[in-house]
Each structure stands twice: as structure tokens, then as C-alpha cells.
Amino acid sequence: MIDREDVQKRVMKVTSQVLKTKESEIGPEMNFVFDLGAESIDSIALVAGYEKEFNIEMDEDSAFEVQTVEKAVDYIIDCLEKKE
């Protein structure tokens, strides 16, 4: 069973590292571009960071469609479940 809370904490950790933002300033409903100021190069770094953190491979086209922290958590959980 995948622990959603653990996945969310790890997503927020990677997001804060890539976007150089405090974890405490990141919320699940936040949009990467509009709320966190991510640019296209940051999107690539985020995908790479999530892949490394969770030891998964993400489909870049669908991964780049993910707009919020919560949707990233959902997407990563889906990847992890497929891997099991």
C-alpha cells in the first residue's frame, strides 16, 4: 500500500529543492507555474527530480500536463502502483 502522505512530503521536498522555495510555503493545491513561479526549464528539473526520488520513469508528455502539487502526487502514486 502506497502512503499518500509520504509521497506528498517527498513531492514537496523535491519541489522546494528545484524551485528554491521553503517546503512550508508549498501547498497541495498550488499551481507550479502560477503559484510557485516554475518556468519550462523547471518542469524538466521537477520531472527528473521526481523520477530520481521515487525511482520511476514518467511519461514526459503527460507529466508536463500536471499543473498542481496534488496532481503530481496523484500522478506519482499512479506510476508507483503500475510499478508494483
- What percentage of the chain exceeds 90 in pLDDT? 93
18-54 pLDDT per residue, tens: 999 999 999 999 999 999 999 999 999 999 999 999 9
Q: Is the pTM of this model over 0.85?
A: yes
Where do the domains of the chain lie, and which CATH numbers do they carry?
Answer: 4-83 (1.10.1200.10)
Give the model's confidence band at 1: pLDDT under 50 very low, under 70 low, under 90 confident, else very high: confident
The angle subtended at Cα 65 by Cα 16 and Cα 44, nearest 5°, is 50
Residue 75: CB partners within 8 Å, gap ≥ 6?
A: 58, 62, 63, 66
